[in-house]
Amino acid sequence: MIFEYAPAPESREVVDIRPSYGLFINGEFVDGSGTPFKTVNPASEETLAEVATATEADVDRAVQAARKAFGVWSALPGSERAKYLFRIARIIQERARELAVLESLDNGKPIKESRDVDLPLVAAHFFYYAGWADKLQYAGYGTTPLGVAGQVIPWNFPLLMLAWKIAPALACGNTVVLKPAETTPLTALLFAEICQQADLPPGVVNIVTGAGDTGAAVVGHPDVDKVAFTGSTEVGRLIARAVAGTTKKVTLELGGKAANIVFDDAAIDQAVEGIVTGIFFNQGHVCCAGSRLLVQESVAEELLSSLKRRLSTLRLGDPLDKNTDIGAINSAAQLAKIRELSEAGEAEGASRWSPACALPEKGFWFPPTVFTGVSQSHRIAREEIFGPVLSVLTFRTPAEAVEKANNTPYGLSAGVWTEKASRMLWMANRLRAGVVWSNTFNKFDPTSPFGGYKESGYGREGGRHGLEAYLKEIS
Ligand code: NAI
Ligand code: MG
């Protein structure tokens, strides 16, 4: 008997997308002064909406609104601020389906990820920091908010990065001006509506849309007290330069080139699942993606054949299909970068493999790809690809694994697969990475701090540590 594949598409009717969007300043949607831009569905290249561009003058209006609101918001008792954050968290849960569909449409990620990973984590972040709002005196970082936070976020987890930025800022009594990425502004604008629905005082959250110039205006505004950025190391450097010599506090969450390290005693099938989650989750558009597989030589052959078998079962296609494992690449620019680096991998002598996988005709797509025979000097072993591309290297001893894992300018995360707890601890103590996962990968929780070493940035987000970036001690 032959079974035909039956798609299981989620309905896009659950979300109303307006033809055009303004900026969200002082609790209202207002026109932007710049030339509006279009945001597209990367799975179909269809235009979803036209979105306003905030100029320097618009950003100034948003910062002024946030400054004015800071007086009111920071004067509220923590328990009152918590009520708003709990309310926002509950509305996010109530409207989760709508937000998940919108996220998948604008970003290209599979609905099963936006529905089962992004949205639950977004709500969890607001719940978690709501809980801190009236307990700041126990956190150990003082109880005084900084003022206005200027926050710039990327396109890989649009709503989740918004939550990571806004929830702790508001819990601590700051107000915010946030700029979403230009390819994924829509869930931030729906979040603005949720702020209205929650009766959040006007000006506490302001959303300004636009590209890099708008981001630079947010970061460079003289009345911003705190800058929080997630994105490329290149722009992170520009931002560090822009705020140098000012009193602005900064956190930067930048790129990564994580090692996923598999020892010969690891449970191979579990490790294979962890490798798949590590690099193919969210099309590999993950700063902490396990983009370098370091496998102990004695099990390399067995592991690679299992991995290839598993990759052949992944389903690539319509992000709104509930069975889809791999969605669309977020933009033509990102696709070009992935292609360029993959071609460099071949040119430098690594062997490239992908499962048989038909790519849709429209939209931006890249098949799951594995490079073997990779050496440390190859660009695909050193540079962040930010796509569904895995580079495989081998090692013989734990010391060699540590040496290779740390041989990178980055230091965001790492994974270790072994049955021996003593070896796990030995490795974790030597890996220069902000997060080390033990027999798992890409696990997130609002209670757990996240952040990098070296060129992966500085500061921690999440957990009690995440409060530090938004508070000061008064002397
Ligand atoms: P990007 O760093 O340019 O974009 C991130 C955000 O920064 C966007 O909102 C963008 O509008 C804004 N931005 C751009 N220039 C700015 C400036 N001068 N001042 C202030 N804000 C500015 O990253 P892009 O070009 O989208 O991606 C390039 C590469 O960066 C990716 O291929 C990937 O390797 C890495 N990346 C890392 C991310 C992470 O989570 N750490 C997220 C996104 C990209
Ligand atoms: Mg888009």
Q: Are 42 and 330 in contact (CB under 8 A)?
A: yes
| 423 lies in some domain | yes
pLDDT computed for residue 475 by the predictor: 62
| 2 lies in some domain | no
> From the centroid of its chain, how far is CA 338?
18
Ranges of residues in the chain whose predicted pLDDT is under 50: none
Closest CA to ligand 1's atom 30: 232
Same domain membership, residue 408 and residue 269: yes
Q: What angle do CA 395, 397, 398 make, to 5 degrees?
A: 100
pLDDT computed for residue 2 by the predictor: 73
Catalytic residue among 172, 195, 287, 288: 287
253 has catalytic annotation:
yes
Q: Which two tokens stand for residue 224?
A: 């911003």
Same domain membership, residue 367 and residue 266: yes
Q: Which atom of ligand 1 is nearest to the CA of 331?
A: 26
In the block, tokens 């998948």 appear at 104
d(CA 400, ligand 2 centre) in Å: 42
Q: Which atom of ligand 1 is nearest to the CA of 387?
A: 32
SS3 86: helix
d(CA 425, ligand 2 centre) in Å: 42
d(CA 239, ligand 1 centre) in Å: 11
Q: What is the CATH number of the domain that holds 438?
A: 3.40.309.10
pLDDT computed for residue 474 by the predictor: 84
> From the centroid of its chain, how far is CA 260?
19
In the block, tokens 């981001």 appear at 215
Pocket test of ligand 1: the residue of 51, 152, 177, 213 to mutate, having most ligand atoms within 8 Å of its CB, is 152
The rounded distance, in Å, linking the Cα atoms of 191 and 282 is 21
Q: What is the CATH number of the domain that holds 188?
A: 3.40.605.10
Same domain membership, residue 288 and residue 238: no
| 154 lies in some domain | yes
Same domain membership, residue 393 and residue 334: yes
| 294 lies in some domain | yes
Q: Residue 205: what residue type? A: V
Q: Which atom of ligand 1 is nearest to the CA of 157?
A: 40
172 has catalytic annotation:
no
The finding on whether 235 has its CB within 6 A of some atom of ligand 1 is yes
| 209 lies in some domain | yes
Cα→Cα distances 143→67, 71, 231, 292, 463, Å: 18, 15, 29, 41, 16
| 4 lies in some domain | no
Same domain membership, residue 463 and residue 317: no
Q: Which atom of ligand 1 is nearest to the CA of 286?
A: 40
pLDDT computed for residue 10 by the predictor: 97
Same domain membership, residue 97 and residue 240: yes
The finding on whether 157 has its CB within 6 A of some atom of ligand 1 is no
- Report how far apart the first and last C-alpha atoms of the chain are (Å, whole number): 77
Ligand number nearest to the C-alpha of 45: 2
The rounded distance, in Å, linking the Cα atoms of 155 and 184 is 6
Ligand number nearest to the C-alpha of 214: 1
Same domain membership, residue 237 and residue 96: yes
pLDDT computed for residue 4 by the predictor: 84
The finding on whether 210 has its CB within 6 A of some atom of ligand 1 is no
Question: What CA dihedral angle connects 301, 305, 307 and 313, to 10 degrees?
Answer: 180
The finding on whether 386 has its CB within 6 A of some atom of ligand 1 is yes
Closest CA to ligand 1's atom 15: 212
Q: Which atom of ligand 1 is nearest to the CA of 333?
A: 25
Q: Are 200 and 171 in contact (CB under 8 A)?
A: no
Q: Are 191 and 200 in contact (CB under 8 A)?
A: no
| 421 lies in some domain | yes
> From the centroid of its chain, how far is CA 420?
31
> From the centroid of its chain, how far is CA 384?
14
Question: How many structural domains compose the chain?
Answer: 2
pLDDT computed for residue 1 by the predictor: 65
SS3 416: strand
The finding on whether 216 has its CB within 6 A of some atom of ligand 1 is yes
Q: Which two tokens stand for residue 473?
A: 């001690």
Q: Are 353 and 243 in contact (CB under 8 A)?
A: no
Q: On the CB side of 4, how many CA atoms lie within 13 Å of its CA?
A: 2
Ligand number nearest to the C-alpha of 157: 1
Contacts of residue 403, Cβ cutoff 8 Å, sequence gap at least 6: none
Q: Give backbone dihedrals phi and psi of 128, rounded to 5 degrees, phi first.
A: -60, -50
Burial class, 75, CB count within 10 angstroms (exposed 0-12 / middle 13-18 / buried 19+): exposed
Model confidence pLDDT, tens digit, residues 261-317 = 999 999 999 999 999 999 999 999 999 999 999 999 999 999 999 999 999 999 999
Cα→Cα distances 443→117, 153, 275, 373, 438, Å: 10, 20, 13, 28, 10
Same domain membership, residue 43 and residue 59: yes
The rounded distance, in Å, linking the Cα atoms of 294 and 104 is 32
d(CA 255, ligand 1 centre) in Å: 9
d(CA 124, ligand 1 centre) in Å: 25
Q: Residue 15: what residue type? A: V
Q: Which atom of ligand 1 is nearest to the CA of 155?
A: 43
Q: Give backbone dihedrals phi and psi of 177, rounded to 5 degrees, phi first.
A: -120, 115
Same domain membership, residue 287 and residue 186: no
Q: Are 394 and 297 in contact (CB under 8 A)?
A: yes
Same domain membership, residue 226 and residue 93: yes
Q: Are 179 and 210 in contact (CB under 8 A)?
A: yes
Same domain membership, residue 246 and residue 288: no
Same domain membership, residue 287 and residue 196: no
- CB atoms < 10 A from the CB of 181, how many? 25
The rounded distance, in Å, linking the Cα atoms of 153 and 346 is 32
d(CA 232, ligand 1 centre) in Å: 4
The finding on whether 461 has its CB within 6 A of some atom of ligand 1 is no
Contacts of residue 351, Cβ cutoff 8 Å, sequence gap at least 6: 371, 372, 373
The finding on whether 255 has its CB within 6 A of some atom of ligand 1 is yes
Q: What angle do CA 442, 444, 446 make, to 5 degrees?
A: 165
Q: Which domain holds residue 64?
A: 12-254+456-470
Farthest-apart Cα atoms in the chain, separation: 77
d(CA 37, ligand 2 centre) in Å: 11
* 0.85 surpassed by pTM: yes
d(CA 114, ligand 1 centre) in Å: 21
Pocket test of ligand 1: the residue of 53, 165, 208, 235 to mutate, having most ligand atoms within 8 Å of its CB, is 235
| 450 lies in some domain | no
